[in-house]
Amino acid sequence: MIRSVVSFSLGLIAIAAPAQADPLKDSVPNVMVTGEAYEDVAPDRASLRFGVVTERPAAAEAAAENNRAAQAILAELKELGVADADVETQGVTLAPFTVEERDAKGKPKAPQTFYRARNDLLARIRPVEKAGEIAGRLIDKGVNSFEGIEFDFAEPKEKLDALRAEAVKDAERRAKIYVEAAGVRLGRVLEIRPLDEMERSPRPYAAKMATTLEAAPATPLRPGLQRLSARVSIIWALSR
């Protein structure tokens, strides 16, 4: 998301500082118009959030077994073509918890302490079509906790640059409608102000899945479309 301000006068070589631009803008008749452009695009990257949880009576046993499972998952990701740079550890925890039970007569038994080891990972999958297959393979390898999935774009710059240019054209088109109806003309540009861009929201899939999952060859995923957008505010001087 870009938050920047560019102010300039077309007749000048150097970019005018904001302190110089404001008096000029306030001293001449002007019109300010916002232009926008957007495109609904299929995401090209999926981010899987998952983990392996191990519960054992001894802390060392829980940690060791959880580590073995995590190593097997990392090896599987590499075999599936996921680069090391696209795999990120999100958290590693080891904590005790108490289990309280009752006997057949309903009397409480002595509490038992167990240890829960957890290793949470994030994997960025490209192309996005492979995400379902990889999710199924990871379940086979011991993943028993899925936190969800997000779809986004690996390299949105080119698409955003094209949308920025379209947003400027849209602002000029709107400005001409106003000034022609008022019987005046557009003069030089006094200010260009990019507004919030890239309106996209991650689409979670199965935000919370059961901690025990049956093996599956592939998990059906539908990334859908997400909207990329660019908005810009432009101020023109007016002339007769």
Whether the predicted pLDDT of 201 surpasses 60: no
Are residues 25 and 218 in contact, defined by beta-carbon separation less than 8 angstroms? no
Q: What does the pLDDT read at residue 217?
A: 55
Dihedral sign (CA 69, 71, 73, 75): negative
Tokens representing 6 are: 């560019």
Highest mean pLDDT among 1-15, 47-61, 123-137: 47-61
Q: What does the pLDDT read at residue 11?
A: 34
Whether the predicted pLDDT of 1 surpasses 60: no
Fold exhibited by the domain 1-41+156-211+218-240: Translation Initiation Factor IF3 (3.30.110)
Whether the predicted pLDDT of 230 surpasses 70: yes
The total of other beta-carbon atoms located within 10 Å of residue 228's CB is 19
* Three-state DSSP class for residue 22: helix
Q: What is the pLDDT of residues 40-75, one digit of tens each?
A: 988 989 999 999 999 999 999 999 999 999 999 999
**Does pTM top 0.85 for this prediction?**
no
What's the CATH code, domain 45-152? 3.30.70.2970
CB within 8 Å of 215: residues ≥ 6 apart: 136, 139, 140
- Percent helix, strand, coil in the chain, to 5, is 30, 35, 35
Whether the predicted pLDDT of 215 surpasses 50: no
What are the structural domain ranges in the chain?
Answer: 1-41+156-211+218-240, 45-152
Mean pLDDT computed over every residue of the chain: 82
Whether the predicted pLDDT of 128 surpasses 80: yes
Tokens representing 70 are: 């995590």
Q: What does the pLDDT read at residue 220?
A: 73
The region of weakest confidence among 124-133, 136-145, 171-180, 205-214 is 205-214
**Which pLDDT band, with edges at 50, 70 and 90, does 197 fall under?**
low
